[in-house]
Amino acid sequence: MENISRTKIENKKEKYYKNKKSILRSSLASTLKLVLAIALFAIFALIVNAGDVIVENGKINVDSKLYVDDAGKVGIGTTSPAGMVHIFGGGATARLILQKSSSGAGNAMQFRDETNAAKAMLGIAEVANGGVVGSALNDFFVRAEGTQRIMLSPNNGDTIGVVINSAGNVGIGTTSPSYRLDVAGDAHATSFPTSSDARLKKNIAPVTNSLDKLKNVNGVYFEWNEKYKQLGRATNGKQIGIIAQDLEKEFPELVTTWGNESYRAVDYGRLTAVLLEAVKELDAENQELKQRVEDLEAKA
């Protein structure tokens, strides 16, 4: 009996010391975690130079200057971030600054899709041709990757503004520019100079038989149909012009095509060269008739 009692006492002592060690370990771990947490918050507060740091319900509020909500949205100057990063402030001071680390370094902001593939970039070129071809050191650039387009749109994106496609064509009012500058609608300017220097040309030849060829081309009044309106290019009211297919038969150099269905377009500006030669031909015929009349009158 005495041996059994001693064994029980020894077992109780052993359990007591084990429990005591476990409690000490747990207490030490909790103390270390608390000290570490306090140290981290102290460092964080020093870094942001904040007066108060409040952590509550998964949110961090640093003196209302820096705020992180429970969804991970970060607000700077606001405690109601509407996006993943929301900066609020006023005055002449820049709200967001990206500074280069050295004169040879670039500085850019890149945008990626859900697969982590780069889609667009804007920034400052670090070297010549560093952002886009033709850029110089410190040029500001906007670049789309691959076949992506660059688009500028007013009215919350409800109106087509300016589009630059992967070929470098610029569209105004159209998302599918077929020319270097493609305007869907009216365009106004003081002048549209066109290069025409003789030093830049070769194989120069006169335009002949203009008058006879123009007899097959008619000036017409018309209105744009529904199909053209659906393309977003039509102007309202009665229009005046010529039929491109008629002109193409006589002067194919003045007609180009655009769009998936190869719609025809007329270069009305260069048509003036044809009209100029037609006037000269008509004047020559008129001079010849006048001379014949004078000769007949002299014989009478």
Domain ranges for the chain, please list them.
2-76, 116-148, 149-185, 205-278
What residues have CB less than 8 Å from 224, skipping those under 6 apart?
233, 234, 235, 239
Distance CA 249, CA 253 (A): 10
What does the pLDDT look like over 26-77, one tens digit per residue? 666 666 666 666 666 565 555 555 456 677 777 888 877 888 888 889 888 8
Flag whether pLDDT at 271 surpasses 90: yes
Q: Say if CB 187 and CB 236 are below 8 A apart.
A: no
What residues have CB less than 8 Å from 205, skipping those under 6 apart?
none
Please compute Rg for the chain using Cα positions: 40
Query: Residue 91: phi, psi to the nearest 5?
Result: 95, 180
Cβ-based burial of 75 (10 A; exposed 0-12, middle 13-18, buried ≥19): buried
Distance CA 110, CA 129 (A): 17
Among all chains, which residue has been given the structure tokens 């820049």?
A: 94
Q: Residue 174: how many CB atoms within 10 A of its CB?
A: 20
194: tokens are 């066109």
> Side chain identity at 49, as an amino acid letter?
N
* Residue 206: band (very low, low, confident or very high) from pLDDT cuts 50, 70, 90: very high
Distance CA 256, CA 179 (A): 10
The mean predicted confidence, pLDDT, of the chain is 83
Q: How many helices (H) and strands (E) does the chain have?
A: 5, 16
3-state class (DSSP) for residue 46: helix
* Residue 252: band (very low, low, confident or very high) from pLDDT cuts 50, 70, 90: very high
Q: Residue 40: how many CB atoms within 10 A of its CB?
A: 10
3-state class (DSSP) for residue 3: helix
* Residue 147: band (very low, low, confident or very high) from pLDDT cuts 50, 70, 90: confident
pLDDT of the residue at 27: 63
